Structure 1
Amino acid sequence: MTDRRRAILTGAARVIARQGVRGLRVADLAAEAGVSTALIYYHFKDRPGILRHALAFIGDRADRYTATENGRAATENSQAAAHPSGPRQLLEQTLLPAFQDLPEVRENSTAWGELRAHSVFDPELRDELAAAGAAWAAEVAGHLAELCPAAPPGAVTAAAERLTALLEGLSVRWLSGLLPVGHARGLLREAIGVETGRLGSTPSVN
């Protein structure tokens, strides 16, 4: 990705988080990214193109800060660095980094929520969002299946959907100031324990 393209998408995520999807105007985005409106249209053709690429960018950025937090945790914990993570740890590492009290994470989560809300009125964006959500749930289901190999696939999929839906709901409360970040993480850890227990795994101590 070129620097200018990255600057435009970073600006799009910021404007969406701050003003909502309906508040995303190309002129405002150009000012935020420090580029011309013509350059934005050159890269993304139209407003729907901006939204589609912004959604993908937000997903990629979430993957990056998830990997960053997990790498930092492994470095700080010599035992974690010396031994590969187990299925339960991998599951938590897929979900918990959504709750970090960092500007980039807050911005990303807020923009994702704004795009999700707007998809109610935008069928094309809804399809893009559904695909991204399905890929995320499938990743979580893969970790659950590894952790609970005897569980029926349908039950594993349902558990993954419940966990990702809970994370999104907790994220709204955290971003709104109704939940401290540590409490949101604790509630999600408890939910992971409930779901994996229901699927038949042996509870682990964290």
Structure 2
Amino acid sequence: MADRQASILEAAVRVIARTGVRGLRVEELAAEAGVSTALIYYHFKDRAGLVRRTLAFIGDRAAGYTDEALEDSEDARAVLIQLLLGELQDIPRVRENSIAWGELRASAIFDGDLRAPLAESTRSWSRDTAEAVADAQAAGLADPRVVPLDAAERLTALVEGLSERWLSGSLTLDRARALLTGAVDAELGPHPAPEPLAPRPA
């Protein structure tokens, strides 16, 4: 993606987070991005195309910061937890992404054109999470009876709800993160104790 398109999409996320999808005006976006309205129409054709591309951009950006959160993970179960906790971080791009995602999801109730791309983004997130659940099972760190996609859909839905409660001030971030970590334990079963080390020969 060209740098100019990326900067327009970053500005679109900020505007949607601030004013909602219905409040997104191409003129306001142009001012926010420091470009002409003609350039926005050149890259995105129309407002609907801009909104769809912004939704895809939010998904790509979320993948970037959740990947960053995985760098310190030690095992497959920790990878799953960090993948989910990556959505609950008090940094500007995560907050903007989460707020804009919530606005787009709410708008899809009334805007049929948004439903298919939103559903695909949600399925992609659920599939990635289900793979992490399956990896934890393969490593012996999760109950093998758990259906990975079922667990993934429950956990990602919980992330969305906890994120909204945190962002609206109904929950502290620490509480939201603790509840999410507890939900992973409830879904996967208790984290198995490490194998005891074999005694050293005398």
User: Normalising by structure 1, what TM-score?
Assistant: 0.87
1:179 counterpart residue number: 171
Decide which of 183, 187, 191 is 1:203's aligned counterpart: 191
Q: Is there any run of 5+ residues in structure 1 with no aligned partner, and where?
A: 75-79
Q: Write the deviation string for residues 55-96 of structure 1: whole angstroms up to 9, x where unpaired.
A: 11111111112223333xx3xxxxx6xxxx321011012100
C-alpha separation in 2, matches of 1:193 and 1:152: 14
1:204, CA displacement in angstroms? 4.5
Name 2:96's counterpart in structure 1. Answer: 107
Pick from 110, 134, 140 the counterpart of residue 123 of structure 2: 134
Matches within 5 A, 1:34-73: 34-71=34-71
TM-score with structure 2 setting the length: 0.88
Letter in 1 for 2:191: P
C-alpha separation in 1, matches of 2:67 and 2:173: 19
Q: What secondary structure, in the 3-state scheme, does the structure 2 residue paired with 1:100 have? A: coil
Identity %: 54
Classify 1:181/1:24 alpha carbon distance in 2 versus 1 (closer, same or farther; 3 Å). same
Summarize the Cα distance change of 1:69–1:160 in structure 2 as closer, same or farther, 3 Å threshold. closer
Which one of 180, 184, 195 corresponds to residue 188 of structure 1? 180
Runs of 4+ aligned structure 1 residues displaced above 4 Å come to none
**Highest CA radius of gyration, 1 or 2?**
2
Name whichever structure is richer in helix by fraction.
1
Relative to structure 2, which stretch is displaced further, 23-32 or 138-147? 138-147
1:89 to 78, 92, 102: 78
Q: Deviations over 1:145-201 (max 9, x none)?
A: 222357457x3221111101011000000000111111111000000000001xxxx
> Counterparts of 1:115 and 1:204 in 2: how far apart (Å)?
39
Aligned length: 189
Q: Please give the per-residue CA displacement for 1:80-113, whole angstroms capped at 9, x wherever unaligned.
A: 6xxxx32101101210011111111111100000
